[in-house]
Structure 1
């Protein structure tokens, strides 16, 4: 296989675009189908697709945010209105959010950790797909990924867990790169 320098350069410079900098337009229906197709081309030992995707777009962004704010207010009595409003806005301003859910299946040869990692790959591949189509993206995981009531409201079934929320839209800013760890701090060679 020949070297793909454009892909290499992309991987060396990829960075997330925060949700505050993701605006309309979002992907068209055809682009979304392509994004989801690319996202699901991941390692999947046993070909069991141990993940699911829930798309939140259009008016559903406000509706999901309103339900999220209700759950937050119920679980945090006495919280101020400003904090509740933050929860209402969780799926804004990005025009599209994809909830990536780990949906493990019983399998004699595929442990749950492998299935969870496959779901994580779906999330990261979705980010790569967004950039390939000219969008920006951000992978976030907040309290509502780990709250059973909120996770269920967002589409996770019993025994499933949310891996992350991938916000996608048109970037309105160029994001500065963050410092990356020196390889010497994170890489060792076995036997040396």
Structure 2
């Protein structure tokens, strides 16, 4: 087994993150890795926003405004504190372009692959990451507040920082639970 395979098998989301955030030189390399995501026709259908420092409070206010009208003060406060769970939040944005041979869904998958590569690169540099979405990723007020253009969408919020506490390992599924051998139309066999 190669070190890359071992690295991937050990990958985990880390919900407990603290300062420091990754420095600029680490983030730059991680973004270079994100730009290596599969990208049919080299459309580069993604962009990123880095949120840190006091801007995390502004992001929390956007999250609170995305809560429904019946939200309790406790729910609003939870939304406000969400971006403070890490010293840095990277917003992944899908920016699909019109192309005769590359449907939008392929471009969204490219943006998602870029987020995954970004997270793996940060983890390799010694930082923890947690990819989050939820209703705030799709709420028009959040999209507008982040400056998204029509047709753009949030792929996710990648929280990053130093891991503050180890968590127990997450059980992983058996490959036989999600892999079959296809032998032709209507014929699938167990892996």
Shift of 1:155: 3.3
Segments of 4+ in structure 1 off by > 4 A?
Answer: none
Does the 8 Å contact 1:146/1:162 carry over to 2?
yes
Shift of 1:52: 1.1
**SS across alignment from 1:152:** helix
Does the 8 Å contact 2:66/2:136 carry over to 1?
no
Compute the TM-score of the two structures, normalised by the length of structure 2. Answer: 0.91
**2:14 corresponds to which of 13, 17, 25:** 17
**In the aligned structure 2, how far is the partner of 1:179 from the partner of 1:68?**
31
**2:26 corresponds to which of 24, 31, 38:** 31
**In the aligned structure 2, how far is the partner of 1:41 from the partner of 1:78?**
43
**In the aligned structure 1, how far is the partner of 2:61 from the partner of 2:139?**
16
Shift of 1:93: 2.4
**SS across alignment from 1:129:** helix
Match of 2:110 in 1: 118
Bigger drift between 55-64 and 150-159 goes to 150-159
Shift of 1:13: 1.0
**In the aligned structure 1, how far is the partner of 2:66 from the partner of 2:139?**
9
Compute the TM-score of the two structures, normalised by the length of structure 1. Answer: 0.90
Does the 8 Å contact 2:17/2:161 carry over to 1?
yes
Answer yes or no: is 1:95 the counterpart of 2:97: no
**In the aligned structure 2, how far is the partner of 1:176 from the partner of 1:84?**
30
- C-alpha deviations, 1:95-137, integer Å up to 9, x for none? 1111111111001111111101001101101110111110000
Match of 2:162 in 1: 170
| Structure (1 or 2) with the greater strand fraction | 2
**In the aligned structure 1, how far is the partner of 2:70 from the partner of 2:178?**
44
- State the aligned residue count: 184
Unaligned runs of 5+ in 1: none
Shift of 1:39: 1.6
Match of 1:135 in 2: 127
Shift of 1:53: 0.7
Shift of 1:41: 1.2
**In the aligned structure 2, how far is the partner of 1:70 from the partner of 1:156?**
16
Does the 8 Å contact 1:54/1:155 carry over to 2?
no
